[in-house]
Chain A
Amino acid sequence: MKGEMTKQDFQPIGKDKRVNQDIFRPTISYWADAWIKIKNNKMALISLIILTLIIIMIIFGPYIVPYKYYEQDYDNTNISPGEQGHIFGTDSLGRDLFSRLWIGGRVSIIIGIIVALLSMAIGVIYGGVAGYFGGRIDNIMMRFVDVMLTIPGLLINIMLLIVLEPGITTIIIAFGITGWLSMARLVRGQVLQLKEQEYVLAARILGASNRRIIIKHLIPNTMGPIIVEMTLVIPSAIFGEAFLSYIGLGVRPPMASWGILASEGIKVMRFFPYQLIIPGIIISLTILSFNLLGDGLRDALDPRHRI
């Protein structure tokens, strides 16, 4: 019959073994892949742009205006934004808020970055060693971390700051001492997983030393979560500094920090709300951007996460 299909209508293509091996997705490196994913993530991209802008302002902002952050001008206290060359107005001592905001940003961001780096350095080594060697060593090392983690970090920070003089260095030390713990936990978890992978087994059979395996194979593959964790350490450092400054354990005048600006702003909020609103917006924007960026990075750096 006409519409019927017969055997002759079909022709086998055959099994071309080579075709099976072809990978139809172009080969790109892990990092390039991550970058593409980020670019496609609108929120993360916007956050990245905002953060870049903020960082640019932090670096160059204080030089744009002729006022230094510590210059007091008693005839011009509490001026509204936009008047007399003060872009963001002045505070109760007549100091320019534009300048102070960006100088304060330096303090907060620097604290955040250094703490993040410190946490990474210590945490990676500690967690890496624990995870890799496993067994008793891992047990003891992680017990210690667990114990330390149960004690609220802020309490320890406060006590440290009471003992040492409050200041940028002390804050960094205090946050650093409590910050590396979660990083260590994270890294150790990762390493525990990874070391069961086949390529590690292969490396070991080939005779690679423990050190080489840790450095060349394990750590680079944990970079993903580590970076994500680092981006999330920074906003919590900013938060922490703001909190400590509010209760009076922050940096010392005339230095400004975002925490100090916020607490001073709250004091005069009902009279000069801009003194709280402007720093509040910038602080919140920064924290939010880091959080969104962290989320985006987490998705981007996860090789299993496909768009």
Chain B
Amino acid sequence: MYRKLLTFTMIFIMIIVLFAGCTSESGGQLEEAEKVLKIAQGSEPPAVDPARANDNISLQIGQALFEGLYRYHNGEFIEGMAEGEPEISEDGLVWTFHLRDAKWSDGEPVTAHDFEYAWKRLADPETASGSAYKITDFVKGAMEFNQGSGSSEDVGVRAVNDKTLEVTLVSSTPYFKEIISFGAFSPVREDIVKEYGEAFAANPENMVYNGPWALTKWEHDVELEFEPNENYWNREAVKLDRVISPIISDYATQVNMFETGDLHMTILMGEFAAQYDEEGKAEFFEDGLSINLLLNRETYEPFANENIRKAFALAIDRESFITNIYKLPAIPATNLINPAIKGVEKTFRDEFPGDYFPAFDSEKAKELLQKGLDELGIDSLPDLELMFLDGGASPIFAEFLQENFRKTLEVEAVLTPISLEKRIEISMNGDYQTLINPTGPDFNDPMSTMETWITGNPYNEVKYENEDYDTLVKEAKGIDDTKKRMELMAQAEELIMEDMYVVPIMHNVSGYAISDNVSNLYPTAWCPDIDWMFADMEEAEQ
């Protein structure tokens, strides 16, 4: 009998050894003491191609591999491919950029033609880019091209010569420099795209790099590996020898790996944030994200009544959620514009405080509810469908809201989680009653938020229609005087808060922990969301 058992065990062991051989041993030995940064990504990057990159991860990686005219780093927009500041015409409509001498990773020079090609490709309807609006909003002729009524020749981007790029805008845009630091405006090599077609940028071999890093390995859904791009114009600024980016979708696993030393950085949420904070190892920053609740009066009639809307706003116990459940030091929002956004000299919120309503007042909420019900002639509120994206803190926040609404407003909220696909669909057909909407500004100016709510804007999901608001915002868009612009937008904010179709919940704060020996690593509210491109390490790890 034991002989049979022994045979079994031997076969077992043999098979195991066979498997051990099969499993790839990767990420193993470091040759000399190298400075290798290990930083995780939350999911497989959907698309690194600048014209297709639409999510934080792809954009972040894009900032490592490519470089546009300017890039955002440590609080400023520093020079990238552009040398010096842009020349701006009198009327603010024509911007001219001078490019420095820079090379692609394959030795070819970076030319203005690469920019012209990339920007037109972004607007091209055939590319079907989700970021197309970034160029169609600002560059002359781009909108028409994208919608099929214009041609690519009429788009206001022109390579005057190899080193000069001329851009013509739709209207004067003082913050245009910030817009073009966004990853979609990185240059792209026409010959490479033509060579690989659909597979462009799908793998390391299918692209060339002009950014600080080159992608050496992309094991899909497992990890990415970067090495410095030797042809990068600012090679000395790149301090690390290698960067390894495993893909870890379960963030608790990320924290675990941080604690075992397998990662140099981790995001912190919930209980982890509280625990690390107690130990003094957590860092927090305003990530520019604001969480709002959108009220759709077209599908849920009571939302047409102002008192009902305000009742909902007041029924949410923001402080309690943040302190007891969220456990990150987020800010209960009683206004619309995120505190990370710039004003004239300081932040917009510093200069225009604006607390437009109490962060929680259940008594007042009940009062307003009653008034609203009377005005509507009904006894109680019908069931309400509450939608939210399935991930992060949204589900638990939805349950929180559900209970708040039940307790104070006596309304039954039905929770419906939705996928990203469905969210996009809803943004097109407006098929929701109320929706938890985390949103971040596209660029560092209140206009990014304010213009969303202009009548007729395709992103105006609550169909807000207020002529006075429209006038104020359009005026602010058309002038150059920053101080005046801010004042106009502050007035507009007051109006939209009065009407309360968009209910601010909180201005988010993200938590993270970074290994002590790592420096120059910045989580930011802008693109890239994690700036590791110029990070450094104290000493090489064994």
Chain A interface (Cβ within 8 Å of chain B)? 70-72, 74-75, 77-78, 92-94, 248, 252-254, 267-268, 270-272
Contacts and interface: CB of A to CB of B under 8 A. Distances in A.
B277 to A, nearest CB: 13
Interface in B408-466: 414-417
B280 to A, nearest CB: 18
A60 B495 CA distance: 53
A92 B396 contact: yes
Contact of B403 (A70, A248, A252, A272): A70
B320 interface: yes
Given A248-B417, A252-B414, A253-B415, A74 B325 contact: yes
B399 interface: yes
Given A74-B320, A75-B324, A93 B271 contact: no
A93 B414 CA distance: 18
A94 B317 CA distance: 14
The B contact surface, by secondary structure, is: helix
B508 to A, nearest CB: 18
Contacts of A253: 395, 398-399, 402, 415
Contact of B324 (A71, A77, A271): A77
Contacts of A70: 403, 406
Contacts of A270: 252
A98 to B, nearest CB: 18
Interface residues of B, number: 23
Contacts of B414: 252
B400 interface: yes
A271 B256 CA distance: 13
B317 A93 contact: no
Contacts of A74: 317, 320-321, 323-325
Contact of B400 (A72, A252, A268, A271): A72
Nearest to A255: B415
Contact of B399 (A248, A254, A267): A254
B519 interface: no
A93 B400 contact: yes
Nearest to A77: B324
B390 A92 contact: no
Contact of B415 (A72, A93, A252): A252
B417 A93 contact: no
A267 B321 contact: no
Residue among A71, A252, A268 with max Cβ neighbours from chain B (10 Å): A252
Interface of B: 252, 270-271, 275, 317, 320-321, 323-325, 390, 395-396, 398-400, 402-403, 406, 414-417
Contacts of B398: 253
A82 B258 CA distance: 34
B324 A267 contact: no
A200 B474 CA distance: 90
A164 to B, nearest CB: 13
A93 B252 contact: no
Nearest to B322: A74
Nearest to B398: A253
Residue among B323, B390, B396 with max Cβ neighbours from chain A (10 Å): B396
Residue among A74, A93, A268 with max Cβ neighbours from chain B (10 Å): A74
Contacts of B403: 70-72, 93, 254
Nearest to A73: B324
Given A72-B399, A77-B325, 19 more contacts: A70-B406, A72-B400, A74-B323, A74-B325, A77-B324, A92-B270, A92-B396, A93-B325, A93-B399, A93-B403, A94-B324, A248-B390, A248-B417, A252-B415, A253-B399, A254-B399, A254-B403, A268-B270, A271-B271
A179 to B, nearest CB: 27
Nearest to B324: A74
Contacts of A272: 271
A254 B402 contact: yes
Contact of A268 (B271, B390, B416, B417): B271
Contacts of A94: 324
A253 B390 CA distance: 13
A188 B498 CA distance: 70
